[in-house]
Amino acid sequence: MHFRGVNDVLRKRLKNYYKKQKMTQSLRTDLDQSDTYYDYLCVIDFEATCEENNPPEYLHEIIEFPIALVNTRTLEIEDTFQEYVKPELKPELTEFCTKLTGITQEMVDKAGSFPDVFQRVVDWMREKELGTTHKYAVLTDGSWDMSKFLNVQCRLSSIQYPRFAKKWINIRKSYGNFYKVSRMQTKLTSMLEKLGMKYEGRPHSGLDDSRNIARIAIRMLQDGCELRVNETLHAGQLMSVPGTAPLETAPPPRSPWHKK
């Protein structure tokens, strides 16, 4: 009798088992290291190229990189960063994109490439001593910004996906769990309304969106919510952090801007 085929299958199963165990352990280690009190929250809400009806294969390019820096001790927006980005695949913005975001062709024509803007983001974060003197976490309105926009943009720009963006706080999940509301009540405008606030600024402006998301985060901290990392991008896959609510099972919207 020959058992080579059986042994090969068993060997492969064992190898895959240990690989999965190693990935899980690595994920837990990263999360354990990050599950501490954050001095700052970096609230990020990208704006990207789009069409009125994006085809499934459409590649969104980031055209605005904003950050609202929340000091969790003073409960204030301490500083902001904003730069526009010149798209390369489709340098000409659609009329729909300009009308939606308020970003004009002239703005992106004058802007730097994504690698250049991203380097200035990193330099800004270093100036703020984030990750060295101060502990911080990225916070977003949903999963799209990190798992889709930034993930795709880094591949398009041939730069390594940043370590700081591999885990983040999805405020929608935190909000829903803390205030016990359904997923349908976690749109940006709905969250503001429930908290007795109105949107300030221009909707779909990346910086204004970031500021308003930051206002929600500040109110949640004031109400006693412990904002913690609840999503991560591990081995290229979006994962929910163990011990938090599961990822949304509903299909993604046709356009990420329908979320707001």
Active site residue 60: no
Q: What's the structural domain count of the chain?
A: 1
Segment (H or E) for 218: helix 206-222
Distance in angstroms (rounded) separating the CA atoms of residues 31 and 28: 5
SS3 per-residue string spanning 76-123: EEEEEEEEEECCCCCCCCCHHHHHHHCCCHHHHHHCECHHHHHHHHHH
110-151 pLDDT tens trace: 999 999 999 999 999 999 999 999 999 999 999 999 999 999
Residue 53 lies in a domain: no
In a domain, residue 157? The reply is yes
147 lies in some domain: yes
pLDDT at position 40, please?
A: 98
Residue 226's Cβ-count burial label (10 Å; 0-12, 13-18, 19+) is exposed
Which residue type does 143 have? S
Task: Give the active site residue among 61, 64, 204, 231.
Answer: 204
Better pLDDT: 33 or 153: 153
- Out of 47, 64, 83, 231, the active site residue is 47
Please give the model's pTM, rounded to 2 decimal places.
0.81
Is 161 part of any domain? yes
Residues spanned by the domain of 230: 37-47+59-240
Q: Is residue 193 part of a domain?
A: yes
For the question of residue 2 being annotated catalytic, the response is no
In a domain, 24, yes or no: no
Q: What is the mean pLDDT of residues 200-207?
A: 97
pLDDT recorded at residue 237: 74
- Residue 190 maps to which CATH number? 3.30.420.10
Residue at 247 is within a domain: no
Give the position of tokens 């001790």.
Answer: 73
Compute the mean pLDDT over every residue in the chain, rounded to the nearest whole number: 86
Residue 103 maps to a domain = yes
Tens of pLDDT along 237-249?
Answer: 788 776 665 544 3
Whether residue 209 contacts residue 43, with contact meaning beta carbons closer than 8 Å, is answered with no
Are 64 and 200 contacting, i.e. CB atoms less than 8 angstroms apart? Answer: no
Half-sphere exposure of 84 (CA within 13 A, CB side): 18
